[in-house]
Amino acid sequence: MKEILQTDRLLMRTWTLVDVKALFEICRDPEIMLHIGTGKPYQSVDEAINFLNWTVAYQAENGFCRWAIVEKASQRIIGSCGFARLENSGEIELGYLLARQAWGKGFATEAAAACLKYGFKELGFSSVVALTDPEHIASQRVVEKLGFIWRGIENYGGESNSVYVAVNPEE
């Protein structure tokens, strides 16, 4: 496992297969998965294993992925945050999700802000996009607080998304 970065309250690191139960417990919650991927919660541990295997391979190939978020105080995994390339355009997408008990404490903003900084400084991204469901106000607030600018409504995989973009301030 590799530590990626730390914030005041959080640590972000790569996943290992030992994390499978923690990930499954988060992703089996329908409300959490409503705006993620297919919109459906994980039905089986196999889906969590598939995701973990994907992150390991993706990290090895690209130097980034959707990392695990650990709350320092409890040492528990409370979600995931990080990057992946959009399939059609190759743009770098920032994504995040948190366990329900961790909502409303500013954790998503704290994790996403640190990832974005890491993406610009350490990974050299020129720009990063964020895709949100048009009605998903909480997620839009997170990217707005990070300084993302609204780009418009765009279609990805047959779904309308409210798309935001952040540009590397050093470029």
Ligand X SMILES: CC(C)(COP(=O)(O)OP(=O)(O)OC[C@H]1O[C@@H](n2cnc3c(N)ncnc32)[C@H](O)[C@@H]1OP(=O)(O)O)[C@@H](O)C(=O)NCCC(=O)NCCS
Please state, in angstroms and rounded to a whole number, the distance separating the CA atoms of residues 30 and 67: 21
Contacts to ligand X from residues 112-141, by CB under 6 A? 132, 136-139, 141
- Member of 37, 39, 104, 147 binding ligand X (CB under 6 A): 104
- Beta strands across the sheet bearing 127-132: 3-6, 10-13, 66-71, 76-85, 92-98, 127-132, 159-167, 149-156
Q: Write the CA distances from 69 to 87, 121, 171, integer angstroms.
A: 24, 20, 28
Residues binding ligand X: number (CB under 6 A): 20
96 lies in the site for ligand X, by CB under 6 A: yes
Short-list 92, 34, 91, CA closest to 65: 92
Task: Give the orientation angle of helix 45-62 with respect to helix 20-27, to 10 degrees.
Answer: 110
Question: Which of residues 45 and 138 has its CB atom nearest to ligand X in the complex?
Answer: 138
35 lies in the site for ligand X, by CB under 6 A: yes
153 lies in the site for ligand X, by CB under 6 A: no
Residues in the chain: 171
Question: Which of residues 59 and 132 has its CB atom nearest to ligand X in the complex?
Answer: 132
CB of 48 to ligand X, least distance (A): 16
106 lies in the site for ligand X, by CB under 6 A: yes
36 lies in the site for ligand X, by CB under 6 A: yes
- Member of 103, 117, 123, 168 binding ligand X (CB under 6 A): 103
Tokens for 118?
């890491």
142 lies in the site for ligand X, by CB under 6 A: yes
- Member of 11, 68, 97, 163 binding ligand X (CB under 6 A): 97
Please state, in angstroms and rounded to a whole number, the distance separating the CA atoms of residues 140 and 130: 9
CB of 171 to ligand X, least distance (A): 25
3-state secondary structure of 25: helix
For binding to ligand X (CB under 6 A), which residues are involved? Answer: 32, 35-36, 96-98, 103-109, 132, 136-139, 141-142
